[in-house]
Each structure stands twice: as structure tokens, then as C-alpha cells.
Chain A
Amino acid sequence: DQQVKQNSPSLSVQEGRISILNCDYTNSMFDYFLWYKKYPAEGPTFLISISSIKDKNEDGRFTVFLNKSAKHLSLHIVPSQPGDSAVYFCAARYNNNDMRFGAGTRLTVKP
């Protein structure tokens, strides 16, 4: 039962442009959402999060938007840099210790 979905397996953008990664979820009980970034041969690392009581959270070049009515969240990276090239996982949780992940989107930022 895939409760968190990232429908785009890959995304390619030009350096300096905006990267938009999308995520959809089906469980309305989710109340906390996170994005993780994963480089090859490394474990995922936390990037940014948002609580369900908010619709936007910003941290430097990274902004996460949450649309609860659509059960959709997105990660915006602007401006994109070659070092941002990685796999990005969307995750959601609905109780203290249960976190569900999407399949990931591979972002390639071209110089």
C-alpha cells in the first residue's frame, strides 16, 4: 500500500533554474512531512520538513509547500546547483515512530 507517491522518477534542470519535486499522499492522518536527500553510497540525510498546520516552510534555497486539501507537497530548490544532484525522498508520518517514504526522484542539475 503505497501511501506516499513520487510519480516522477527523474528530473533534469539547468543550473540556476528552479527545481520542483512533487509528492502526493493518500493518508489524511499524516501530520508531518519531510524531504530527504540521498547521494550515491550514502544514507538519506534530512533536508527540510513541514507540519500539517503550515502550508510553507523555507530554509535558504529550499522551500516546501503543503496543500492538504490536495494531499500534495512539493519541494522547490532555487537556484539549483550541480551539487543538488541527488535522489530526493518525500516522507510522511502520522504517529511518533512510523515514517513512510516515497520511491524518490532523481534530480540532475546540469552546469
Chain B
Amino acid sequence: DAMVIQNPRYQVTQFGKPVTLSCSQTLNHNVMYWYQQKSSQAPKLLFHYYDKDFNNEADTPDNFQSRRPNTSFCFLDIRSPGLGDAAMYLCATSRGGNREKLFFGSGTQLSVL
């Protein structure tokens, strides 16, 4: 089935140790998003790619970076994770039209020790 796949499901890293979260899609969608969701809070958009065009949210910390080497894959890099970066990270895709809905992966739960 076509889908959005996030690996790993759970990720544990140490304070300050770089970590990369992965997302792949078989939907051939133009847009890929990264959301951060902390417990009982709204998913917060970090950035998105429309094809190769990167769009960063104004309040996304510099500690968070993203790469999209091709249509199918998108990575979230956290250069120096802090305790406050522990959260669920959700990847989503869409075709990019004005009325297009988002398709989400199952998320990666990041713990920072």
C-alpha cells in the first residue's frame, strides 16, 4: 500500500548528540512536512519542502535542519538535541494543491537522555 513511513518508531539519543529521523513516501507527493508534537499539545510545523524548495517556519530553532535528497525521502536532523526536544516527530505529505489533505506517518518518538 502507498504510504508514509517513518523510521525508527522510537529513537533515544543523548543530550547534545546529533540525531537523524527518516521519512519516506510512496505516494509521489510534491510536499513533505515535519511536525513536532509534545504531549497534549498541537502538532507544530517545523518546515516543509515543496519539491526541492525548502520552507522554514520563522520560529523553528536553527538546531533543526532538513534534507530532501529526492522525492521519496526527507530527513530531520537535530544537530544538538536538548531535553526540550524530546517529542513525537510527525512526517506528512501532500500533493500540494489548495485543497489537499495531509497524509501522516506513524511518527518517531524521540527521547533525549
- On A, residues with C-beta under 8 Å from B are 2, 4, 9, 32, 34, 36, 41-46, 49, 51, 89, 91, 95-104
Contact = CB atoms under 8 A, between A and B. Distances in A.
Contact of B99 (A32, A42, A91): A32
B107 interface: yes
Nearest to A45: B104
Nearest to A96: B98
B107 A101 contact: no
Given A89-B43, A101-B43, A102-B42, A44 B94 contact: no
A98 B98 CA distance: 10
Interface string B91-110: 01010111101111111000
Nearest to B107: A43
A51 B55 contact: no
A97 B96 contact: yes
A64 B98 CA distance: 19
Contacts, number: 59
A101 B42 contact: yes
Contacts of A44: 43, 90, 102, 104
Contact of B41 (A46, A91, A99, A103): A103
Enumerate the 7 nearest inter-chain pairs by beta-carbon distance, A residue then B residue, closest first: A43-B104, A46-B101, A103-B42, A101-B42, A101-B43, A43-B106, A44-B104
Interface residues of B, number: 28
A36 B45 CA distance: 16
Name the prevailing secondary structure of the A interface residues. strand
A89 B90 CA distance: 14
Contact of A43 (B42, B90, B94): B90
A96 B48 CA distance: 12
B70 interface: no
Contacts of B50: 97
A97 B104 contact: no
A97 B101 CA distance: 10
Nearest to B35: A101
